[in-house]
Amino acid sequence: MNEEKTVLIVEDEKNIVDILRYNLQKEKYRTLEAYDGEDGLNKARSEQPDLILLDVMLPKMNGFDVCRLLREEGDNVPIIILTAREEEEDKVKGLETGADDYITKPFSMRELIARVGANIRRTAMSAPAAATAADSAMPVAGDLSINTDSHQVFRGGRAIDLTQREYELLTFLASRPNKVFSRVDLMEQVWNYGYVGDDVRTVDVTVRRLREKIEEDPANPQFILTRRGAGYYFAVN
């Protein structure tokens, strides 16, 4: 239930914090606020929120460093990076430092609330429920299986912790085996927006992180392969 879940908002613009707090509390989330990176890091450590909304440009410590330090400490709390729409490098760097997702300013509040809920639900499943989900997951290739009801992926029965976007990319490709999709195709079909500047780099970063999680040898993948000059595909023999 939402009232049991806490969202930490780390943002230095008070008007944005006020809007986020109001809308999250309306959805029955508990909220915590921090207006600089150091305070955000300390509250993440002490309060153990269920999700963090993390701005990039912050006083004292930027959002990338906050995210990186939490991941280095073994904290897997879902982190959604808040970034300006034109700052493509922020999106890529946020994913590379361990963020689960990003959303661009100005953002749709409905989309943000949906992203918050999706990321929290993935990490809230109890161990018995996860075991049941593994048992009912459908094999897709080798020992890789997907449970589309719980939005979980398993390798040899072991749950793999994917971000929502990684999950969406995997399920999209796996449901269309051996079909090659260009990066522009994937931006349109999975990210739901067309080619804009260097946005397609986001696809490469997400594929790389996904390979690191699902492949035994990410440098020599067996599931998500590259067709040089064409795009990516999910290989099924």
> Average pLDDT of 11-19?
95
> Is 80 exceeded by the pLDDT of residue 128?
no
Q: What is the pLDDT of residues 37-83, one digit of tens each?
A: 999 999 999 999 999 999 999 999 999 999 999 988 878 788 998 98
Q: What is the pLDDT of residues 133-150, one digit of tens each?
A: 555 567 678 888 888 777
Per the model's pLDDT, the better-predicted residue between 14 and 202 turns out to be 14
Give me the pLDDT at residue 159, please. Answer: 84
Q: What is the pLDDT of residues 161-189, one digit of tens each?
A: 777 778 889 999 999 999 999 988 888 88
C-alpha to C-alpha distance for 200 and 82, rounded to whole angstroms: 19
The rounded percent of the chain whose pLDDT value lies above 70 is: 86
- Pick from 69, 74, 85, 96: nearest CA to 10: 69
Give me the pLDDT at residue 1, please. Answer: 45
User: Chain-wide mean pLDDT for the chain?
Assistant: 84
Which segments of 95-215 are extended strands (E)?
A: 101-105, 138-141, 144-147, 152-155, 158-160
Do the beta carbons of residue 63 and residue 87 sit within 8 Å?
A: no
- Residue 130: pLDDT band (50, 70, 90) is low
Give me the pLDDT at residue 126, please. Answer: 46
> Is-above-0.95 flag for pTM?
no
The residues with which 159 forms a beta bridge, in sequence order, are: 154
Do the beta carbons of residue 35 and residue 11 sit within 8 Å?
A: yes
Give me the pLDDT at residue 15, please. Answer: 95
> Average pLDDT of 101-117?
85
Helices 14-26 and 109-123: angle between axes, nearest 10 degrees: 60
Neighbour tally for 224: CB within 10 Å = 20
- Pick from 174, 177, 158: nearest CA to 166: 174
